[in-house]
Structure formats: C-alpha cells, structure tokens
Chains A and B, each alone.
Chain A
Amino acid sequence: MPDQWYILSGILVAAAVTWGLRAIPFAMLAPLRESELLAYLEQRMPVGIMVILAAYTLRDTDPALITSVGPTALALGLTIGVQLWRGNMLLSIFAGTAVYVILASVAAASG
C-alpha cells in the first residue's frame, strides 16, 4: 500500500489545482471573455481529454491475450452502444461494467 503521506500529498495537490482553476478565473473575467484561443480549446479539449483518459485506463490491456482484450472490447462496445442508443449515463456505465465484471471474473476463476 502506498505511503499515507504520499496519498495525502496527492489529494492536496489535486485539490489545490482544482480550486485554483475554479477561483482564479473570477479575478480575470475580462481577458477570459476575450481570449479566442481559450474558447477554441474549450470547445475541443473535453472530448479529446476523455478519449485519452479512457485509453489511459486501458493501457495495461494485452492485445495478444483474448482473456484480456475480449472482455474489454465487448464491454467497451456495449457501453458506447447503450450510450448512443439511450443517452443515459448511469445505464451505460452500469451495463458495460456489469458485463466486464462477469467476463473478467469468469476468466480469472478459470485461468
């Protein structure tokens, strides 16, 4: 288990950066409104950052191992499909995770 001081520092770093992002802009509203670059990034960053985060969470998936890539691909496809079909975030997350947990647990028990 990681050292408790490290965990506390990590939490405080994330909290400080988050608070900064939320509080500092109130002190610079005029330049914020005028910046075209910020507006450009604001429109494009979220989708890309989410794609990178999803890829990051899957970085240890082994493409050559069917018990690793199989459950991931099926659960990923189901999550995307349900989200495009119903647009209900909780339903999509629940469906994808349930399928992944069942497949991965069976694979772990038999392998």
Chain B
Amino acid sequence: MEDQGTRDEVAAGWRIVFPACAAVVPLGLALGVLVVQSGLAWWWAPVLAAVVFAGSMEFLLVGLLAAAAPLAQIAVSTLLVNFRHVFYALSFPLHRVTGGGWKAYSTFALTDEAYALTATPESVRWSRARIISIQAFFHLVWVSCVLAGAGLGMLIPPQIVGLDFAVTALFVVLGIEAYKVRRSLPVPALALGCAILAVLISRENMLLIAMGLFVAALICSRFLTVRRRRLA
C-alpha cells in the first residue's frame, strides 16, 4: 500500500506545480533561443538549465559566458543576484525531506517557484514524495523547455536581431515587481546612480562595481540610521 501512497503524493505534487510549469514555458524557450543566439553550442542550453537551475541568473550567465567574463565576476554576480535565496530557508519545509541525498537535491532545487509553492501553512505536513516531485517536475519541465528553445533558436534567421532584449525586459519587470514590496523610490534611484557611475568608471567591469557600490551604500545607510536612532 505504501507504493500507492507514494504515487498519490507524486500526483498531488504534479497538480500543485502544474500552473508554475505552464508559466515558465515561454521563459525556458527564450533562454534556449538566447543560448544559441549568443554563439554557445546548443547543448550548453540543457546543461546550463539543469546544473544552475536559477531562472534570472541563467539569463545573466549566458551573457557573461558569451562575453568571457572572469570567473570571479560570475561568482560575485551569482552571489548578489541569488542572495534572496538565503531567506527561503526560513519557511521551506526541509525537515519533511528526510535522507541526506534527498535533502541535497531539495536544497539544490530550491528555486523561487519551489519556495512560493511551499510557502503555505499546510506544507509543514507535506510528504517527502510530494515536495521532491514538485521540485523534480519543475526541473524537468524547465530543462525540456530550454532544450526546445535551443532547437527553436537554430531556426531563427540571422537577419532577426535583438532577441536578447528579452533579458533586459525580464530584469525591468522583476525590478518593478520588487519595487512594489516597499514602493519607495530612493533605493532604485541609488542603484541607478551606482550603475551610471560604474559605467563611467569602467564599462567592462560595470556589473561588479555597480553592485559593490550599491551594497556598500545600503550597509552604510543601515549603520547610519541605527546610530541616529541610538543618539536620539
């Protein structure tokens, strides 16, 4: 009877993750197209999708790899772009995923979507089979879509240019959604200022310079407000 129970849990996982899978199909296709258009071999597309498995970072990574960016720049960019994942540990039901190997996979595949789908009060009682199947189905669909996108990318004639604007649009849209959390303009304005300053300092290294300036400025502002509160 345990097999039947596991099968039910896997089916339940699929029902939970299905809407998220449908939603990422266009993004996966776009990533595959981008890999091919950036001049990387088509088979890097599924490798990238399977091994990194962090949507927006993968889009950025394609550009970094195509530009032959230094590995240190890739590491620091990944750290800052994916820093939000640190907080997913606070609510993700990893205690339900027993066994070292399963725990390793579950943390590896802790995407924004996996976090969002398990951020419900009921998830603290979900079975390992259900949690892992949510993550694994999403992983499988993502890699398949990116692979299909790479195939699609090879069909696009070279006269069509500018598809990489999808990456800009993705970051702009994610930025607008992140803005809605606080609806405060000084922070995005500060970031834009850091980006412009960084381009003026060095176009080549603008990403690291801008992110470094921005995080440093945030930490400074934090310490200044704490000190002001203490003095007051």
- Interface residues of chain A, those whose CB is within 8 Å of chain B, are 1-2, 4, 6-7, 9-15, 17-19, 21-23, 25-26, 29, 32-33, 37-38, 40-60, 71-72, 75-76, 79-80, 83-84, 89-90, 92-94, 96-97, 100-101, 103-105, 108-109
Instruction: Say if the beta carbon of B143 comes within 8 Å of chain A.
Output: no
Chain A facing B: main interface SS:
helix
Asked if B44 and A93 make an inter-chain contact with CB atoms under 8 angstroms apart, the answer reads no
Q: What mask results when residues 183 to 227 of chain B are scored 1 for a CB within 8 Å of chain A, else 0?
A: 000011011101110010001001100110011001100100000
Asked if B65 and A51 make an inter-chain contact with CB atoms under 8 angstroms apart, the answer reads no
Size of B's binding interface in residues, CB under 8 A:
87
Asked if A37 and B219 make an inter-chain contact with CB atoms under 8 angstroms apart, the answer reads yes
Give the residue name and chain of the B residue nearest to A21 (CB): B85
Q: How many A-B residue pairs have CB under 8 A?
A: 246
Asked if B107 and A23 make an inter-chain contact with CB atoms under 8 angstroms apart, the answer reads yes
Complex alpha-carbon distance, A103 and B94, angstroms:
48
Enumerate chain B residues within 8 angstroms of A2, measured Cβ to Cβ.
Answer: 40, 65-66, 68
Complex alpha-carbon distance, A40 and B52, angstroms:
27
Please give me the 6 A-B residue pairs with the lowest Cβ-Cβ distance, nearest first: A50-B175, A48-B191, A104-B162, A25-B89, A55-B195, A23-B107
- 28 A-B residue pairs with Cβ-Cβ distance under 8 Å, sorted by A, are A2-B40, A2-B65, A6-B65, A7-B65, A10-B65, A10-B69, A10-B71, A11-B47, A11-B51, A18-B54, A18-B78, A19-B108, A21-B85, A22-B85, A25-B89, A37-B222, A38-B87, A43-B181, A50-B171, A50-B174, A53-B171, A54-B171, A57-B168, A57-B171, A60-B203, A90-B26, A92-B173, A108-B159
